[in-house]
Amino acid sequence: MAKIIPFKAVRPTRDKVSLVASRSYQSYTQAEREARLDYNPYSFLHIVNPGYKYDKEISGKERYQLVKNRYQEFKEDGVFVQDKKAAFYIYRIVDRDHQIFNGIVAAASVEDYKNDVIKKHEDTIESREIVFKDYLNTVGFNAEPVLLTYPDNDAISIIISEIQKQRAEFEFTTTYRDTHYLWQIDNENDIKVISDAFAKMKVLYIADGHHRSSSSSLLCEHQKTENPNHSGEETYNYFMSFLIPESELRLHEFYRVVKDLNGLTKEEFLIRLDTMYRIENRGIMPYKPSKPHHFSMYLDGEFYSLYLRKHNYDFKTSLDDLDAQLLYQTVLKPILGINDLRNNTRIDYLSGKKDIVNLKSMVDTGAFKVGFGMIPATIEQMKAIADEGLKMPPKSTYIEPKLRSGVTIYEF
């Protein structure tokens, strides 16, 4: 059973939420970051980039302490206010393509994460886990929820629908033309119905945020050793999550681009590829695959379709059926010599939300030699891989929705 509880969020005031909310720091170009820092004193970017105040790049523990300082200043200035009563928060996004996402911001149990009630499908990098744990331990808050998904549930859906008939606490539209809404649920009966509904679920799945959840687990272990009166109910025993029903989750693919052909000529590469794939030259017109185990390839100014010769490939597990894993096992590793997908600098990734023409452009610049496209993984594949205790290759899925940082904040 999954333990999901309400918490006292720290939130911007209604009049400033549109100014505070930001995308993740890494998603901005340097020019975009500088523009927001120069002209918006309320942007959450001021908190996560505290060196801006001193016109200096600051890293490590010194940066963590300054992040904490900036955060406290936002609270002191009344930009952020903590709710007096624990609540669940309904978060709704209507994006520019009219896709609608509805979910609940809540606190999920670290113990559930450890016991595999909250299941994972991606590997994490230990060094990144430790860095983020140290960051959380210093700053004392988290502003980006882990994205969890659950089977559609009528009891939860009814409450969400009823609450959304009321005026939203927050409503703002971003420059990306996505509109965000937030409602607060602090009615004890509604909280109990939602908590009981999650308690009846045997498992939840991490859709996005594997490093954040793992770091929260490390933080919990650290805090336990520091607290002689540890009870198991302290805020560090939980991490902020955005729980969304499976039917509203959107999975996109990632394209792969590789800088060279591992010493092979174009002809040698195609001959090696022919062992595992039926290859057709599609010419200069952009080509996207439409079926599992089919790939598009862009090489030397032309698109190719690659159809797997299935008699040469052994499907033993649900992971073997995943196109990102299949491409790794049949092309990236044996032919292009890319063994470590996480650390090899010869490979890069491009979100499949972007047009296949973007992949073409990256290769045409000369920075990359070859690019590969595939269809998105499915929620069923993601769950099956997690259920078998297996892990997807990095950048197997680009998952929506993406929440804004700074709208709800969880303090430890």
Series of mean pLDDT values for 10-residue runs along the chain (412 residues): 97 98 87 92 95 82 94 98 98 94 98 96 84 96 96 98 97 93 97 98 96 96 95 97 97 96 98 97 95 97 96 92 97 96 90 89 96 96 95 90 94 94
Taking the CB of residue 28, how many other CB atoms lie within 10 A of it? 17
- Positive/negative CA dihedral, 53, 55, 57, 59: negative
Distance of CA 116 to the CA centre of its chain: 19
User: Residue type at 183?
Assistant: W
Residue of 231, 160, 145, 206 lying closest to 404 (CA atoms): 145
CA–CA distance, 158 with 316 (Å, rounded to integer): 41
Tokens, residue 231: 């009870």
Per-residue confidence (pLDDT) for residue 53, from 0 to 100: 81
C-alpha pair distances (Å), 126 with each of 132, 137, 342? 10, 16, 12
Per-residue confidence (pLDDT) for residue 196, from 0 to 100: 98
pTM, to two decimals: 0.90
User: Residue type at 22?
Assistant: S
CA–CA distance, 61 with 267 (Å, rounded to integer): 51
Per-residue confidence (pLDDT) for residue 229, from 0 to 100: 95
Domains and CATH numbers, the chain: 4-250+400-411 (no CATH), 254-396 (3.30.1760)
Tokens, residue 174: 């971003």
Give the phi and the psi of residue 147 in degrees, each rounded to 5. -90, 115
- Positive/negative CA dihedral, 234, 236, 242, 246: negative
Contacts of 225 (CB under 8 A, 6+ apart): none
Residue matched to tokens 């988290």: 142
In this structure, are residues 259 and 163 in contact, taking their beta carbons and an 8 Å threshold?
Answer: no
